[in-house]
Structure 1
Amino acid sequence: MTASYPFSAVVGHDDLRLALLLNAVHPGIGGVLVRGEKGTAKSTIVRGLAALLPQVEAVEHCRFSCDPSAPDPTCPDEPHDAAAVTRDARLVELPVGATEDRLVGSLDLERALNEGVRAYQPGLLAAAHRGVLYVDEVNLLHDHLVDLLLDAAAMGRAYIEREGISVSHASTFLLVGTMNPEEGELRPQLLDRFGLTVEVRAARDVDTRTEVIRRRLNFEASPSEFVARWLADDVALADQISGARARLSTVDLPDAELRRIASVCASFDVDGMRADLVLARTAVAHAAWRNADAVSEVDVEVAARLALPHRRRRDPFDAPGIPDEQLREALDDAREEPDDEPPPDGGGDGGAPQDGPAEAPPSASDGQSGNGQAPENPAVEPDPAFRARLLRLPGTGRGAPGKRSKSRTDSGRVVRPSSVDGSGLHLVGTLSAAAPHQVARGRTGPGMLLRGGDVRRAVREGRESNLVLFAVDASGSMAARKRMAAVTGGVISLLRDAYERRDKVGLITFRGGDAELALPPTSSVDIAVTRLRRLPSGGRTPLAAGLLKAHHTLSLERLRDPRRRPLLVVVTDGRATVAASRGGDPVADAERAAALLAADGVASVVVDCERGPVRLGLADRLASVMDGACVRLDELSADRVAGVVHAARRAA
């Protein structure tokens, strides 16, 4: 077995190491989410931690690692009459492609087929009990699997109700998830379920980077010698974990520090009470770690630095993290807060009334000036975003897991058995196909006689993520300040929807004489929001160039990821003023470019931004050529319009 890189030999990453150690002391904290760029030793540190955990006493042959001194009375392997054994704490890894069966367990097929009985085959939640459950790239895991493992981590038990089986078993583990934010974010609801979070980055200091390289090369040259060199440091850390665990129940949490915790959480306006509880547990664990008898302000400060950054993200596109000075100020305010403080003036919300900024005067023209040009406008602050209505592709795809369009998947819900399609065994379908032939096949005892033709596969249906490519008209006809603010707010609403549905997104802008790929397709939706908020506007309208750029971008993406279906969202008023070629007709060129997209089968939605008493209907005409749907900008809100907008009118 390959030796793990010693935990003590890791250079830097002090916050990450402390967060992992505190969770090892008090698993009730709720785990650690490690956010960071690739190549920052996230996985190395987690694997090194498992070697530091105290050994586990378990009932021999119990598949659920029951503690012999306090066995789980509802353990599926009860009664326990075997001897106790001592083993190392396990590190169980949950792969990104895992199914629900692999995580929570399922029917034991071997016993069902051979003995004709219903028996439970435990999953990874059982294997991780009293150890470490490590999920690399947790942001790429199916949302329903993340919900399942976070529920188990929070409750300390796993519940399985499926295929005629009703089972629950203890499942207490140290949960560690790692992710690269460039590959997409976790939803705020899931972020909140992790106890602590840490941002890791590679050091920029040359001496530190040199030492990292030196140690890694020494480890690769002679792993056993390198591990032996750091053994004493790892043993000391392991002893400190065991001692802190033993002291945990004796650490006092004074009422003054409890009020400080509540005050800090209130000052950062976090939702719910989970943050307060996590802060309290982390502060107690830190006090035990530093061998103190009671929690003090230093423990609360460390706990707040680790437990609050990801809970401040009330909006998916809020930047994570807490500035040190802001945290220091909140702690100082908590120290100085009087017992009875009158509510501030200004109404029930405790703040002074806010006046919106004075509206800037409109541009000279809602369209182009006499020479076809409009003055360049600076970036416009967007209108508040709203909950966007669902834009969904027609038909059934086979793309990456997500929450937008219908797809055939390997891990969704089972819709039917099939002898020619699907993935995995459909047990009921297989047994039903074999049952009528048992007498003819000469069955005389328990178990069933199966043939190859009896096998039925499970056809599963779920939701896929898509590539949502935005082509945004930033020309002079869109440049009136109020209009561009509404457009930007609408697109940000669609981007938030794409974030929640785990889509990849790209952003094309067209203005002046050409189109620009402002953001190549990426899973980091918040980057798209940043680019959009800085979007300048003005100039003529090269609509054909924008559509041709979209056609080229989607063609390249189809080669890179052929299973991910694209959705093109064109945001424009349809007023093309620049031809694709010298002497061409701008409108005709735009329609020819739209026809290319339709010929490639690209599902599309045109968001019509035209305003005013006289409407030319050019956006609707463009949507017709693209064989897509046309939606008015003010119809994007899901609160105003019921129903689902399909991205194409034709059948898939």
Structure 2
Amino acid sequence: MNTAYPFSAVVGLDDLKLALLLNAVSPRVGGVLVRGEKGTAKSTIVRALAAQLPAVDAVPGCRFACDPAAPDPSCPDGPHEPGGPSERRPSALVELPVGASEDRLAGSLDVERALTEGVKAFEPGLLAAAHRGVLYVDEVNLLHDHLVDLLLDAAALGTCYVERESVSVRHAARFLLVGTMNPEEGELRPQLLDRFGLTVEVRASRDPRERAEVVRRRLAFEADPAAFAARWEDAEAELAERISAARERLAGVRLPDERLEQIAAVCAGFEVDGLRADLVTANAALAHAAWHGRGEVAGEDVRAAARLSLPHRRRRDPFDAPGLDESLLDELLDSTSPDAPPPDGGGGGGEPPSPPQDGGRRGPAASQDASPERNADSPHDAGPSRNTGPEQNAGSSPDAGPSQNAGPEQDAGPAQDERPGGGGGERVAAAAAPHAVPLLEVPGVGEGAAGRRSRSRTARGRVTGARRPAARVRDPHVVATLLAAAPQQRARGRSGAGLVLRPDDLREAVREGREGNLVLFVVDASGSMAARRRMTTVKTAVLSLLLDAYQRRDKVGLVTFRGRTAELALPPTSSVEAGAARLRALPTGGRTPLAAGLARAAEVLRAERLRDPARRPLLVVVTDGRATAEGDVDRAARLLAGAAGIVVDCEDGPVRLGLAGRLAARLGARLVPLGDLDGIVRAHRGRGGKAA
């Protein structure tokens, strides 16, 4: 039996511990999204939590863990009589692999029983197994869209509906949803992001002593897991007992109207969308009060809940990283506190402070300088914790208040004027807000990862035909199968009403949907691009295309060239936020090594073709076509033969040399003027899809 790393032995990560414990006390909080760099024990602590959750009473033999006190009336294993026999089961921890299939998640027809017993039976999936437990999704941002849709439905309704393969089933699916992700690999869809009640940003500690303690404990655990777990057995038992006591206490915790109005004022002050933030914050504040043994929600409970429930709901732009301006939070809490004195000049409570014009972010230092309210009953709440390492030291406690973990550096946003670069006459141009762009497609039909850009044969989508299966049939095409078998019935000696089928009659459906592509930007950052503030327009256009790539589930890469060399500024990734940050900081100046830029792009595409051969590339070259540095442009262009692409012509002025047009001809790509991106669609269709 595998021994999980003890929850109490984890060093630091106070925000994450608190978020998980609040969900353990009250599942209504809605789950936790853990964002952070790799190697910060995100998975370790989530798995450790499951061992601390109280066991549940379930109907004996029920595969859906029905509560015997209030069984699900639609349970496929029912009906169950309320108040019937029960059995104790440990809370389930179900892990959803990124590559899971839809039938594995939601369930499907039990093929074995259908073939051997001739009965139509339902085989439950992971959503059924996670009912009344924890559903853990590692790398949740890499989950396929169709699985995300299923999760959204189940999380919203608390019920899983299965309508497939002649099976029509519904069953309860209420679970604690915990996801971990590395933001460098891409962001979550906004709909799924909002389904997580709380979010926590974790970073590894930079304190050498804490890091040494992390390694010391991990080595001890790996050397003898059982002995290490035994050392923390008393702390684990105490933690489990405290969770159970807080759960029992929760129903009696009162949320006064003045605190509820304070929560509403804070959510309104941060301009969050919808009312889910208000509900989550209220439930989290109740759980926080129960965790600390209070019978009524206090101001510190509201503050702790808001710090965890609002950061991921503050995003106004896909390029924004989640974050919270804690100085604004303090202002809103102070101005709406029922204990606050009335403002000068008499009158009622006054208006809460307005959020700053930068979207509620006053710089990276703001969240680190603010000191959260502390619980006077706990010595561990005396000051902000700086422990952000993967394990916890012996003196730390999971009831510590939220730590001052700094989130990723915030983009300051585009400046209004160009600013000096790193020297040598370089300049860093501003960028305006991105705008909508027309659809750019790779011609033909691919078979890449699901997305929203180019045509593709996918497991989901409209049926366009049938084919012989290459492996196990998961999506049979009934009509095509019957048509294949019909001409052979006399030869097979058919005598009854049914058809005589053979394995080679089987046909599977061919479906067409949309795929995501690799969009590789090759951007000219030479001195000629800085003329007449041209680079501002270029950056705005590329940012707009990056936004489009985010919405269409693409991977993106960025190659820049200036001076004498080309640089891979952003290796292909799903994180368009990283691409936007690199682009905004891109300086211009120097000569134009066009050949080097094209050759570097060819290297990137060749490597990505080996890594992910199914993902088709779309090349976007942004240049005025000048080549003032050494290099054979024709030879470099031949290296990119066969890649679909466009050339965005950045040349302007009354006299034009048409160099970008010549480059487009060499690449076999489509030429589009920088100021006329709307012409892409018309140009693409006009040439019969030669290039996107």
Q: Shorter chain as normaliser: what TM range?
A: 0.7 to 0.9
> 1:571 is matched with which residue?
622
Aligned mate of 2:677, from 617, 620, 636: 636
Q: 1:390 and 1:304 mapped to 2: Cα distance? A: 39
Q: 1:647 and 1:593 mapped to 2: Cα distance? A: 25
> 1:75 is matched with which residue?
75
Q: 1:457 and 1:641 mapped to 2: Cα distance? A: 34
> 1:594 is matched with which residue?
637
Q: Does the CA-based 8 Å contact 1:389-1:637 persist in structure 2?
A: yes
Instruction: Answer with 224-233 or 112-121: which moved more.
Output: 112-121
2:174 equivalent to 1:125: no
Q: Does the CA-based 8 Å contact 2:565-2:596 persist in structure 1?
A: yes
Deviation string, structure 1 residues 125-181 (Cα, Å, up to 9, x no partner): 111101110101101001231232132122211122333333221111011001111
Q: Does the CA-based 8 Å contact 2:558-2:579 persist in structure 1?
A: yes
Q: What does residue range 528-607 of structure 1 map to in structure 2 within 5 Å?
A: 528-580=579-631, 589-598=632-641, 601-607=642-648
Q: 1:141 and 1:253 mapped to 2: Cα distance? A: 37
2:435 equivalent to 1:400: no
Gaps of 5+ in 2: 355-413
> 2:383 is matched with which residue?
none
> 1:185 is matched with which residue?
187
Q: Which amino acid aligns with 1:625?
A: R
Q: Which amino acid aligns with 1:627?
A: G
SS in 2 for 1:250: coil
Q: 2:305 and 2:137 mapped to 1: Cα distance? A: 23
> 1:426 is matched with which residue?
475
Q: 2:563 and 2:35 mapped to 1: Cα distance? A: 40
Going from structure 1 to structure 2, the CA distance change for 1:210 and 1:344 (only over 3 Å counts) comes to: closer
Cα deviation, residue 121, structure 1: 2.3
Going from structure 1 to structure 2, the CA distance change for 1:265 and 1:617 (only over 3 Å counts) comes to: same
Going from structure 1 to structure 2, the CA distance change for 1:227 and 1:260 (only over 3 Å counts) comes to: same
Cα deviation, residue 637, structure 1: 5.7
Going from structure 1 to structure 2, the CA distance change for 1:318 and 1:362 (only over 3 Å counts) comes to: closer
Cα deviation, residue 93, structure 1: 0.8
Aligned mate of 1:147, from 146, 149, 156: 149
> 1:275 is matched with which residue?
277
Q: Does the CA-based 8 Å contact 1:128-1:171 persist in structure 2?
A: yes
Q: 1:120 and 1:303 mapped to 2: Cα distance? A: 40
Going from structure 1 to structure 2, the CA distance change for 1:290 and 1:439 (only over 3 Å counts) comes to: farther
Q: Does the CA-based 8 Å contact 1:241-1:289 persist in structure 2?
A: yes
> 2:658 is matched with which residue?
617
Q: What does residue range 242-281 of structure 1 map to in structure 2 within 5 Å?
A: 242-281=244-283
SS in 1 for 2:639: helix
Q: Does the CA-based 8 Å contact 2:644-2:691 persist in structure 1?
A: no
Q: Which amino acid aligns with 2:617?
A: P
Q: 1:560 and 1:380 mapped to 2: Cα distance? A: 34
Q: Does the CA-based 8 Å contact 1:100-1:411 persist in structure 2?
A: no
Q: Does the CA-based 8 Å contact 2:684-2:690 persist in structure 1?
A: no
SS in 1 for 2:148: helix
Q: TM-score, normalised by structure 1?
A: 0.86
Aligned mate of 1:520, from 571, 576, 591: 571
> 2:30 is matched with which residue?
30
Q: 2:114 and 2:311 mapped to 1: Cα distance? A: 48
Going from structure 1 to structure 2, the CA distance change for 1:413 and 1:127 (only over 3 Å counts) comes to: farther
Q: Does the CA-based 8 Å contact 1:604-1:647 persist in structure 2?
A: no
Q: Which amino acid aligns with 1:425?
A: R
Going from structure 1 to structure 2, the CA distance change for 1:631 and 1:261 (only over 3 Å counts) comes to: same
Q: 1:446 and 1:80 mapped to 2: Cα distance? A: 40
Going from structure 1 to structure 2, the CA distance change for 1:359 and 1:153 (only over 3 Å counts) comes to: closer
2:547 equivalent to 1:482: no
Deviation string, structure 1 residues 584-633 (Cα, Å, up to 9, x no partner): xxxxx4344323312xx111111122223444433233222211222222
> 1:367 is matched with which residue?
none
Going from structure 1 to structure 2, the CA distance change for 1:76 and 1:175 (only over 3 Å counts) comes to: same
Q: 2:496 and 2:281 mapped to 1: Cα distance? A: 60
Aligned-pair identity in percent equals 63
Q: 1:334 and 1:75 mapped to 2: Cα distance? A: 46
Going from structure 1 to structure 2, the CA distance change for 1:637 and 1:74 (only over 3 Å counts) comes to: farther
Going from structure 1 to structure 2, the CA distance change for 1:201 and 1:443 (only over 3 Å counts) comes to: farther
Deviation string, structure 1 residues 400-422 (Cα, Å, up to 9, x no partner): 34332233345667654422447
Q: How many residues align?
A: 620
Q: 2:496 and 2:199 mapped to 1: Cα distance? A: 56
Q: What does residue range 433-444 of structure 1 map to in structure 2 within 5 Å?
A: none
Q: Does the CA-based 8 Å contact 1:425-1:456 persist in structure 2?
A: no
Instruction: Answer with 59-68 or 538-547: which moved more.
Output: 538-547
Q: Does the CA-based 8 Å contact 1:608-1:619 persist in structure 2?
A: yes
Q: 1:439 and 1:210 mapped to 2: Cα distance? A: 78
Q: Which amino acid aligns with 1:201?
A: R
Q: Does the CA-based 8 Å contact 2:449-2:615 persist in structure 1?
A: yes
Q: 1:128 and 1:445 mapped to 2: Cα distance? A: 46
Q: Does the CA-based 8 Å contact 1:394-1:647 persist in structure 2?
A: no
Q: Does the CA-based 8 Å contact 1:128-1:173 persist in structure 2?
A: yes
Q: 1:219 and 1:447 mapped to 2: Cα distance? A: 62
Going from structure 1 to structure 2, the CA distance change for 1:216 and 1:21 (only over 3 Å counts) comes to: same
> 2:20 is matched with which residue?
20
> 1:59 is matched with which residue?
59
> 1:586 is matched with which residue?
none
Aligned mate of 1:166, from 151, 165, 168: 168
Aligned mate of 1:509, from 554, 560, 573: 560
Q: Does the CA-based 8 Å contact 2:452-2:514 persist in structure 1?
A: yes
Cα deviation, residue 440, structure 1: 8.0
Going from structure 1 to structure 2, the CA distance change for 1:11 and 1:424 (only over 3 Å counts) comes to: farther
Q: 2:564 and 2:155 mapped to 1: Cα distance? A: 55
Q: 1:637 and 1:194 mapped to 2: Cα distance? A: 37
Q: Which amino acid aligns with 1:2?
A: N
Q: TM-score, normalised by structure 2?
A: 0.82
